[in-house]
Structure 1
Amino acid sequence: MREWQWLGVAGSTLVAVGGLFVGVGPSGDAVQLPHDAVAAILWPMAVCYLGMSLLILAWWAIGRLRPEPAVVIRTAVMWAIPFTLSGPIFSRDVYSYLAQGAMTAAGIDPYRWGPSALGGELAANVPPIWQDTPAPYGPVFLRLAGAVTTLTRHELWPGLIGMRLLAVAGVALLAVTLPRIARECGADPSTALRLGVLNPLVLLHLLVDAHNDAVMIALMCAGLLLALRHRPVLGAVLITLSGLVKGPALLSLAFLAVLWAGRLPGRFRLVRAVGATLVISGGTAVAVTTIAGTGFGWIPALRAPTRARTWMSLTTDLGGLLGAREAVWLAGLLLAWAITLLLLHRVGTGADMVAALGSALVAFVLLSPVVHVWYLLWGLVPLAAAGAERARRLAACASPVLVLLAPPNDAPPGAPLVLGGVLGTAAGLLVYTVVQATRRRTGLVLDAA
Structure 2
Amino acid sequence: MPSQPAWLTYPVMILGVLLACGGLTGMLAAHARGWSPDPRVLFAVSALFVLGFVNLTPVGSGDTASYAAYGRLAALGYDPYTTTPDDALQHTAYFSLISKSWQNTPSVYGPIATWIQEAAARIGGDRPWLTIWMVLIFNGLVFLGVGLWLLLRSGDPVRATLLWTANPLLIEVLVTGGHVDTLVAAGTIAALRLSRPGSRLPGELAAGGVLGVAVATKIDAGLVAATIAGCLLAQRRHRALTVLTGSALFTAVALYVPFGLSALAPLASVSKLVALPSVWDLPWLAGRAVFGPAATLTAIGVLWPLLMIAVIVLLFRRVVAAAEPSTAVNLTTIAWIVAAPWAMPWYCTTGWSALADQEPPTRLVPAGLWLGAVTMVLALVHSSGGHPW
TM bracket (short chain): 0.7 to 0.9
From the superposition, tell whether residues 396 and 74 of structure 1 become closer, same or farther in structure 2 (CA, over 3 Å). farther
Shift of 1:165: 0.9
1:344, CA displacement in angstroms?
8.5
**How do 1:15-414 residues align onto structure 2 when only pairs under 5 Å count?**
30-31=2-3, 40-63=5-28, 64=30, 65-119=35-89, 120-179=92-151, 182-183=154-155, 188-228=156-196, 230=199, 231-261=203-233, 270=238, 273-290=240-257, 293-306=258-271, 308-323=273-288, 324-340=296-312, 352-386=324-358, 387=360, 388-390=363-365, 391-409=367-385
Distance 1:282 1:47 in 2: 44
Asked if the contact 1:166–1:215 (Cα under 8 Å) also holds between the matched residues in 2, the reply is: no
Listed as ranges, the gaps of 5+ residues in structure 1 are 1-19, 21-29, 34-39, 412-449
When residues 169 and 237 of structure 1 are mapped into structure 2, their CA distance, relative to the original with a 3 A threshold, is same
Counterparts of 1:273 and 1:345 in 2: how far apart (Å)? 25
CA shift, 1:171, in A, is 0.7
CA distance in structure 1 between the aligned counterparts of 2:112 and 2:96, rounded to whole angstroms: 24
1:191-235 deviation digits (Å, cap 9, x = unpaired): 222122322231112111111111111122112211126122100
Provide the C-alpha distance between the structure 1 equivalents of 2:111 and 2:98, rounded to a whole number of angstroms.
Answer: 20
CA distance in 1, matches of 2:106, 2:249: 23
Letter in 2 for 1:334: L
Aligned residues: 365
Which range moved further: 400-409 or 99-108?
400-409
Quick one: structure 1 residues 71 and 399, their matched pair in 2 at CA, closer, same or farther if it must change by over 3 Å?
farther
Q: Which runs of 5+ in 2 are unaligned?
A: 289-295
Report how far residue 104 of structure 1 moved. Answer: 1.9
Moved more, 402-411 or 378-387: 402-411
Q: Mean Cα displacement is larger for which, 152-161 or 305-314?
A: 305-314
1:307-340 CA distance string (max 9 Å, x none): 5442112224433245445423422211213555
Structure 1 CA distance, aligned partners of 2:46 and 2:382?
Answer: 21
Name the CA distance, whole Å, in 1 between partners of 2:272 and 2:233: 38
Report the TM-score, using the length of structure 2 for normalisation. Answer: 0.82
- Assess, with a 3 A threshold, how the Cα gap between structure 1 residues 74 and 53 changes in structure 2: closer, same or farther: farther
- Confirm or deny: 8 A CA contact 1:104 1:294 kept in the other structure: no
**1:173-204 deviation digits (Å, cap 9, x = unpaired):** 22033346643xxxx33222212232223111
Q: Is the 8 A contact 1:213 1:246 kept in 2?
A: yes
Q: Please state how far the C-alpha of 1:94 moved relative to its aligned partner.
A: 1.0
| Deviations 1:50-103 (CA, angstroms, capped at 9, x unpaired) | 444444444333331343322331232243354233222211111111111122
CA change 1:407–1:347 in 2 (3 A) is closer
If each structure's helix is expressed as a fraction of its own residues, which one has the higher value? 1
Instruction: Indicate the percent of aligned positions where both proteins have the same amino acid.
Output: 22
Deviates more, 1:323-332 or 1:278-287: 323-332
1:244 is displaced (CA, Å) by 0.6
Q: Deviations over 1:132-171 (max 9, x none)?
A: 2121111111011101111222411111110101211221
Distance in 2 separating the partners of 1:398 and 1:365: 8
**What SS does the corresponding residue of 1:297 show, helix, strand or coil?**
helix
Q: SS at 2:98's partner residue?
A: coil
Alignment CA distance shift 1:382-1:304 (3 Å): farther
Instruction: Report the 3-state secondary structure (helix = DSSP H, G, I; strand = E; otherwise coil) of the residue aligned with 1:247.
Output: coil
Provide the rounded CA distance (Å) in 2 between the counterparts of 1:329 and 1:354.
28
Q: Given residue 370 of structure 2, which amino acid in structure 1 is its aligned partner?
A: L
Contact 2:139 2:180 in 1 (8 A): yes
Residue 380 of structure 1 aligns to a residue in which SS? helix
Larger Rg: 1
Cα distance change on mapping 1:132 and 1:52 into 2, 3 Å: closer
